[in-house]
Amino acid sequence: MPGDLRTTPTGVLGLSSAEAAERLAVDGPNSLPTQARVPVWRRVLSQLRDPLIIVLLVAIALTVATGDWTDAAVIALVIVVNTGVGVVQEVKADQAITALATMTAPEARVLRDGEQRLVPAAAVVAGDLLVLAEGDIVPADATVVEAAALLVDESALTGESVPVDKAAVGDGPDRAGHPAQRISSGTVVVRGRARAVVTATGTASAMGRIAGLMATGAGLTPLQRRLVGVGRALAIAAVVLCSVVLVLGLARGESLELMVVTAISLVVAAVPESLPAVVTLALALGARRMAARHALIRRLPAVETLGSVTVIATDKTGTLTEGRMVARRLWTPAGDAGIDGQGYAPYGTVRRDGQQVTVGAAADLDELLTAAALCSDATLRAPGEPGDDWTALGDPTEAALLAAAGRLGLDVAALTSDLPRIGELPFDSDRKRMTTAHRLPGGGTRIICKGAPEVLVHPAFLGEPDDLIGRAAAAADTLAAEGHRVLAVTRADHDSVPGRGEWERGLRLLGLIGIRDPARPSAAATIAACRDAGITPVLITGDHPATARAVAAEVGIIASGDDVVDCREPSDADRMRHARVFARATPEQKVDIVTARRDAGDIVAMTGDGVNDGPALRRADIGVAMGLRGTEVARQAADLVLADDELATVVAAAEEGRRVYANIRRFLLYGLSGGAAEIAVMLAGPFLGLPLVLLPAQILWVNLLTHGLPGVALGSEPAPPDVMGRPPRPPAESVLGAGLWQRILRVGVVIAAVTLGIAVWAHATDRPWQSMAFFALGATQLAVALGSRARPGSRANPMLLVAVVAALGLQFAALYVPLLAGLLGTEPVALTDLLIICALSSLGYAAIRLDRVVHPGKPRPSRP
């Protein structure tokens, strides 16, 4: 291919301007395709395709056909509000590929025509020779041909918490293309300099491949899937019942016009037209409550999705861990020690045998951390504002060494002044060590060498006894198995400046330092809360298997001996569906893992902060991005952004999601039981000697009062106290499942029985039976609304109480205000009769409370 180092005709001299222009014309610009903007009218149409909305549109058409403009306007208002909120939320989404483009470098330095030039990153082509320095963003995939102490931060692409050393391609063909010589677009040069030949640009680059993965849509949320089923069921039921009432009325000799209007009224009663408004309000209130708990919702339906989650797939760096390298363990030939402290702040303690150690108290620790701090190129930067964290410039591992020295009490600035550096051998991936030379105060030279234990803890470098080398090697293995990145630190003093070839011979082993990205203090409690709620935590990281295992065991995802999947090795589908920890995962493999879990029936929440997490965030049922340290790509791909980067916020948001879903089911119980009662009254009335129990206007009035303010207010009910002590509902469970439709029928029967009982009694005693039945139907449904509260007797959700009182007042007005009575065909009811109706209507409250006791529902099986 044109960008291959071995076939590039100009080699390390770069391309000519003419050849670069030719390749740019053939391959296209080094940029990512922008996502086409979805027009507003298309978003509106997608909202109107919801089956429940379609039913309401049919109801509008029927009411308009009969001249009932008032009810048509009410239903239309509900549709407009629901559609408007959905469109506004969606307009903010689908910007992930645009965000990817902002991650690439705006300009690049290349060698063309034998001289260095600054060109737009979009003009970089395969075969170009890049010139890179510290702080540069790599503009395209490339192979390194020249490097000096090159260290590249690939965390946004791979999830690796530690920058990666890169080296130039060697002379042998076996070296070309090795990962240690490849650099990817979007990564950042942390240290050193390099020249590299471009191998892939645009959509063919690493960033481009991720952009392609992110083109996959997220699909319907669990709530949307469940409501689609409800909408279809209600549509079928409405058509059937409408036909039955129409036929029965005509058979009794009623006029065609009256029965058509009555049938249409029953359709409106059967379909709770305020359901979209209730769902929208419940989701909006849930989103507001989540925002107060640092969880920012980008797509409104994602609020409920959190309550359905059965699996939380989390990355490691910055989510379960602090996202900063910290020295935690010290080993010297004299003993072990531990280090406490957070981040890069040089404050904390060093402890040995439970006792704090400071400068001068343990010579071996003084020597170890002094040498480690001197053999470092990083610097620590104090907070600029109160409350900010200490930050690091340079290699995070070396910054961790400086922080550890500060926690012992060493003054790093004084050390570098007293022992100035006079020479160095830089670290590279072949040597796996770094060596510095320092002038001693009294004359002479101190050589300090730090590096990988498998290299330095060896007789070729150390002038130490074999038993000490063996002990050190065993200690290094133990620290590595615990998930630490281990550095060995050695030293040798000379009377003069030795030749460079003698710097790394006869060294004295000072000790080992175990460095890791520590778990967040809240991580273990958060994972325990997930388990208590029946949610399975899964760790997916690009880091090393040993590191992944150690972190997962520390926070409680797995036991220390459980299986860890190394994604570089083949895995079967069953293992992908059931394993808890995945290491070395690529962006494509993260998507595969999420897909496998979803195919197994799970509702998956995926957390992430890097570019490499973007495709999986899009593929998951709900993507959760970090707001503080996350990339813009991850934030744009996600449904939920954590403003505080705390995984515990996801659990808090899941609680709100469960609350939203519980309130939607609460409204369905209330609304559908009332609708079922109205239909039952109209069907059973003629068989009890009541020709037409309710007039069409009366049906619509009761429907408007009960499904209006009280129904919407039910969407604001608080969560039950034990909501997070229950396992998540089965993903395949209908929104009317878990006994809800049976409960709807039972409560509907009580409402219908109260209404018909009062009507039959009033008809037999020559009272205004139709008006009494009308009042009883509305009052009993309002009693059911009060009984549907999550916490009866408390002051929670006062709006429901206000709504019920207001609706009941309007129901009284329908009997006693002449204008309303004329419109609805009602007449006044005697006070004594009214009191009897109110007393019997309270059976609605008793019925729904008693039903919860007698039929509490079967407990769901908990998840592992």
Same-domain pairing of 656 and 740: yes
448 or 616, higher pLDDT: 448
CATH number of the domain where residue 142 is located: 2.70.150.10
The residues near 372 (Cβ < 8 Å, ≥ 6 apart) are 401, 404, 405, 450, 487, 489, 513
Q: Give per-residue pLDDT as tens, 797-806.
A: 888 889 899 9
Same-domain pairing of 682 and 631: no
pLDDT of residue 342 exceeding 70: yes
Same-domain pairing of 511 and 529: no
217 or 19, higher pLDDT: 19
Q: Which of 4-13, 28-37, 70-79, 101-110 has the highest mean pLDDT?
A: 28-37
Residue 257 has what pLDDT?
A: 60
Q: Is 466 a catalytic residue?
A: no
Same-domain pairing of 254 and 198: no
In a domain, 79, yes or no: no
Residues 256-261: what's their mean pLDDT?
A: 65
pLDDT of residue 288 exceeding 80: no
Among 3-7, 296-300, 489-493, 629-633, which stretch is predicted with the lowest mean pLDDT? 3-7
Residues 434-459: what's their mean pLDDT?
A: 92
Residues 331-340: what's their mean pLDDT?
A: 94
Same-domain pairing of 721 and 759: yes
Q: Which of 231-240, 407-416, 736-745 has the highest mean pLDDT?
A: 407-416
Q: Give per-residue pLDDT as tens, 501-519.
A: 889 889 999 999 999 888 8
Q: How far apart, in whole angstroms, are the C-alpha atoms of residue 672 and residue 677?
A: 8
CATH number of the domain where residue 841 is located: 1.20.1110.10
Residue 261 has what pLDDT?
A: 62
Pairing of strands 164-165, 141-153: antiparallel
In a domain, 90, yes or no: no
pLDDT of residue 447 exceeding 80: yes
Residues 62-86: what's their mean pLDDT?
A: 64
- How much of the chain exceeds pLDDT 90, in percent? 19
Same-domain pairing of 583 and 554: yes
The residues near 91 (Cβ < 8 Å, ≥ 6 apart) are 40, 43
In a domain, 39, yes or no: no
Quickly state the pLDDT bin for 333 (edges 50, 70, 90). very high
Quickly state the pLDDT bin for 82 (edges 50, 70, 90). low
Q: Give per-residue pLDDT as tens, 758-803.
A: 999 998 998 899 899 999 998 999 999 888 887 776 777 888 889 8
Residue 121 has what pLDDT?
A: 82
Catalytic residue among 315, 395, 621, 639: 315
Strand partners, 563: none
Contact 626, 634 (CB under 8 A): yes
Domain boundary, last residue among 612, 645, 678: 645
In a domain, 756, yes or no: yes
Residue 352 has what pLDDT?
A: 93
Residue 87 has what pLDDT?
A: 63
Contact 262, 66 (CB under 8 A): no
Same-domain pairing of 618 and 662: no
pLDDT of residue 4 exceeding 60: no
pLDDT of residue 428 exceeding 80: no
Residue 512 Cα to chain centre, angstroms: 38
Residue 711 has what pLDDT?
A: 76
Residues 412-426: what's their mean pLDDT?
A: 91
Residue 483 has what pLDDT?
A: 80
Range of the domain at 166: 5-33+104-212
Neighbours of 46 (CB within 10 A): 14
Residue 278 has what pLDDT?
A: 66
Residues 182-196: what's their mean pLDDT?
A: 81
Residues 119-131: what's their mean pLDDT?
A: 87
Same-domain pairing of 840 and 766: yes
Same-domain pairing of 62 and 140: no
Same-domain pairing of 761 and 708: yes
pTM: 0.64
Residues 359-376: what's their mean pLDDT?
A: 94
Helix H or strand E encompassing 180: none
CATH number of the domain where residue 497 is located: 3.40.1110.10
In a domain, 696, yes or no: yes
pLDDT of residue 848 exceeding 70: yes
In a domain, 299, yes or no: no
Q: How far apart, in whole angstroms, are the C-alpha atoms of residue 154 and residue 185?
A: 10
Same-domain pairing of 687 and 730: yes
Q: How far apart, in whole angstroms, are the C-alpha atoms of residue 422 and residue 256?
A: 105
Neighbours of 567 (CB within 10 A): 21
Residue 423: name the closest of 525, 324, 501 by CA.
501
Q: Give per-residue pLDDT as tens, 457-474.
A: 999 899 899 999 999 999
Residues 656-664: what's their mean pLDDT?
A: 82
Strand partners, 434: 450
CATH number of the domain where residue 547 is located: 3.40.50.1000
In the chain, the amino acid numbered 32 is L
Contact 20, 112 (CB under 8 A): yes
Among 91-95, 96-100, 104-108, 827-831, which stretch is predicted with the lowest mean pLDDT? 96-100
In the chain, the amino acid numbered 629 is R
Domain boundary, last residue among 619, 645, 671: 645
The residues near 160 (Cβ < 8 Å, ≥ 6 apart) are 154, 317, 542, 543
pLDDT of residue 338 exceeding 90: yes
In a domain, 27, yes or no: yes
482 or 720, higher pLDDT: 482
Domain boundary, last residue among 179, 212, 245: 212
Q: Which of 326-335, 793-802, 814-823 has the highest mean pLDDT?
A: 326-335
In a domain, 43, yes or no: no
The total of structural domains in the chain comes to 4
Residues 21-50: what's their mean pLDDT?
A: 73
Residue 776 has what pLDDT?
A: 93
Structure tokens at 3: 């960008």
Among 101-105, 221-225, 548-552, 603-607, which stretch is predicted with the lowest mean pLDDT? 101-105
Q: How far apart, in whole angstroms, are the C-alpha atoms of residue 562 and residue 560?
A: 6
Residue 172 has what pLDDT?
A: 39
Report the chain's mean pLDDT, rounded to a whole number.
Answer: 79
Residues 448-455: what's their mean pLDDT?
A: 92
Among 238-242, 367-371, 446-450, which stretch is predicted with the lowest mean pLDDT? 238-242
Same-domain pairing of 692 and 631: no
Residues 38-53: what's their mean pLDDT?
A: 68
Q: How far apart, in whole angstroms, are the C-alpha atoms of residue 400 and residue 10?
A: 43
Residue 487 has what pLDDT?
A: 94
Residues 239-258: what's their mean pLDDT?
A: 71
Instruction: Report the alpha-carbon angle 650-98-102, nearest 5.
Output: 95
pLDDT of residue 630 exceeding 70: no
pLDDT of residue 299 exceeding 80: no
Residue 7 has what pLDDT?
A: 36
Residue 672 has what pLDDT?
A: 83
